[in-house]
A = this chain, B = another copy of it.
Amino acid sequence: MLNRIIICCLLISFKTLADDGSRLWLKYDLLKDAQQRDKYAALTKFIAANHNSPIVASAVSELQMGFQGLLGKKVSASASAGSRTGGVILQVNANAQNLLEDGFAINSQKGNIVISAKTPSGVLYGAFELLRNIQTGKSLSNLAIVSNPKVKIRMLNHWDNANGTVERGYAGSSMWKWTELPFRIDPRYIQYARANASIGINAASINNVNASSRFLTAEYLEKIKAVADVLRPYGIRVFISVNFRSPRTLGGLKTSDPLDPEVKQWWNDKTKEIHQYIPDFGGFLVKANSEGEPGPQDYGRTHADGANMLAEAMRPYGGIVIWRAFVYKADPNGDRFKEAYDQFKPLDGTFDPKVIVQVKNGPIDFMPREPFHPMFGAFPNTTLGMEFQITQEYLGQSTHLTYLAPMFKECLDSDTYAKGKGSTVAKVIDGSLESHQNSLMAGVANTGSDVNWTAHPFNQANWYAFGRLAWDYDLTSEHIASEWIAMTLAKSKAGQETIKRMMMQSLPIYISYTYPLGTAHMMGEGHHYGPEPWLEKSGRPDWTSIYYHRADSVGLGFDRTGKVSNALSLYSAEVQKQWGDPERCSLDYLLWFHHIPWTKKLSTGRTLWNELCFRYYDGVEQVRKLQTDWESLKPELDKETFENVKGRLRIQEKEALWWRDACVLYFITYTKMPIPAPLVPPTRSLNEVKKLVEIYHLR
């Protein structure tokens, strides 16, 4: 018998030796330390849940799965603890103190661990918190945790197309298998729901904002209902991105004018129909009059007209309307920086309370570093939601290690000074600054059909970090990284520290070899892969590179002071002061706001040109250090994961060199100055580098 068991062990472990990443941060591998297991086991002898909802059932089954995996024991569940001690009690209590909706408390109480919450979702989040404590090796004695989400709608936006592709997706095709639905439920939907619930995400818009009308047909509503039914027990509500022209496309109407009675009726009817499939439907997400999408302006109406019409259709229900502020017109003499602000400012105060205007973190488009969007703090009478991009469109896609928590935090922590010091973007977003009821933080998802969900193993951390920050933006990037690392990659303290250091350095490194000193938007046209700072012509002037960097023989950077675009004036006086003076402006933001002479000496003691070169070169060197760091971790890492990241770091090095050489060789055509010693000039020519990006323009 023992023999057979050993054989069975050998064989099975033989198959599972490699970690394919499919389990994300919910690995639940047996804790190696038997003493530690025993300690936890003594506190998790049973599960008692006083509530009978599907969401609480998810919490119970997750705890059972977690205890089974981490502690190696089956734990039974019942409705009541009775007089037992040493167990985990789940309590839904509508009158729980100090808790908001979705919040939870975990307390050591009379020999048991009690997870209490006002709602089943709160209990579920508490269960995941308890598991995370075990996964990360924390003590379960004397627990007294209270945790409330800072933002109410914590949401993923999937830019997944009906045809199975994913716009700006770098991890395979769409995870939603529309042709299989509603009858085949891919088990990955459940994994996805669990992963989201574990970090507090409670909403998902399942299709691209460049939206196909087909998602509003009965055929597709049946499919979406099947998805909603899978996500509901994990507390996740489904949203649909809608095409504003749907009344014409699907309804056969002559117009989609939001003030037209038939159009209103069509949306009323459609919204009612949706609720027959999905009673707890989250709402609509709309990209309108943006990059060619239809919208109310096609009929001489405003964004508010469009959004409010949809809000009216949603009136009888709990859902909302999320209206994107990502709009800009193609004006070669304008400044895209100001477009959304200018278009929406007159509408402040005119949006229905059911409308949230979703604003990207920065005024351009998810650049690796942008100043916070000037709309934040300037729209007191509008509920503004945040749109971050988790998928790394401009941040290395699937091959660069770039941990995004510091980028999210940099924006959230920015002070708008709208109501004096401390009026951070985070406080705009959570509704506290201007006392809005709703609040929203959305992240454009990086999930795909790849086995490990996100292609680069480290990209999983960005999904994780987004969720954790949407729950609590006061968590530090380091803290979130530590959690994620302990649950995924390394068990040794030293290993965890090395990986955390790599992650914390990764964004500055990436920016250094791509967009140092506040440069932006110099990537390959269309696919946004690799550098193309020389791009002069495109479908629109504001899709070129030269529109943004404004390089000339004198210097570099987009003057957004009063002398030129005056975009700075959109910010409060304090912010203008902070960025308006090139002598005081942080180098991180310098060229966002100023056109600086190449020869100007910066606070580093180097001229702009020398500093630029230094940063590009240093970025490449830092990637090499990341490789050395990673190599040092080989003994303790899963082999497949180690090789996976190792290979990607080599690609990252190659591409960092590509960015460096492309940018310095291009800008040198303006500066006519040498690459400063001791830096060694690139061995290839500008023309050679230019050919590289052309390859990716070939069909």
Contact = CB atoms under 8 A, between A and B. Distances in A.
Interface string A520-532: 0000000101000
A234 to B, nearest CB: 19
A397 interface: yes
A636 interface: no
A634 to B, nearest CB: 16
Contacts of A695: 214, 217, 219-220
A249 B695 CA distance: 10
A648 to B, nearest CB: 5
Given A7-B30, A68-B14, A698 B179 contact: no
Given A16-B16, A162-B698, 7 more contacts: A5-B6, A7-B73, A165-B165, A173-B449, A184-B646, A184-B651, A451-B451
A185 interface: yes
Nearest to A37: B7
A8 B37 CA distance: 14
A423 interface: no
Nearest to A654: B183
Interface string A431-448: 000000000000000001
A5 B5 contact: yes
Nearest to A652: B183
A183 B648 contact: yes
Interface string A1-31: 0100111111111111010001000000110
Contact of A13 (B12, B22, B217): B12
A73 B179 CA distance: 43
Contacts of A185: 643, 647
A399 interface: yes
Given A187-B640, A451-B451, A180 B12 contact: no
A69 B5 contact: no
A172 interface: yes
Contact of A179 (B30, B72, B529): B529
B183 A14 contact: no
Interface in A644-659: 644, 646-648, 650-651, 654
A212 interface: yes
A670 interface: no
Given A9-B9, A654-B183, A699-B212, A219 B692 contact: yes
Interface residues of A, number: 66
Interface in A69-94: 69, 72-73
Q: How many copies does the complex hold?
A: 2
Contacts of A220: 695
A16 B220 CA distance: 33
A451 B423 CA distance: 47
Contacts of A399: 179-180, 184
A376 to B, nearest CB: 32
Contact of A2 (B2, B162, B164, B249): B2
Contacts of A696: 214
B698 A213 contact: yes
Interface in A89-136: none
20 contacts: A5-B6, A8-B13, A11-B72, A14-B69, A15-B16, A162-B699, A170-B179, A179-B397, A179-B398, A179-B399, A179-B651, A180-B398, A180-B647, A183-B648, A184-B644, A184-B648, A184-B650, A185-B643, A213-B698, A249-B698
A621 interface: no
A210 B557 CA distance: 42
A450 interface: yes
Contacts of A527: 163
Nearest to A73: B7
A188 to B, nearest CB: 8
A581 to B, nearest CB: 41
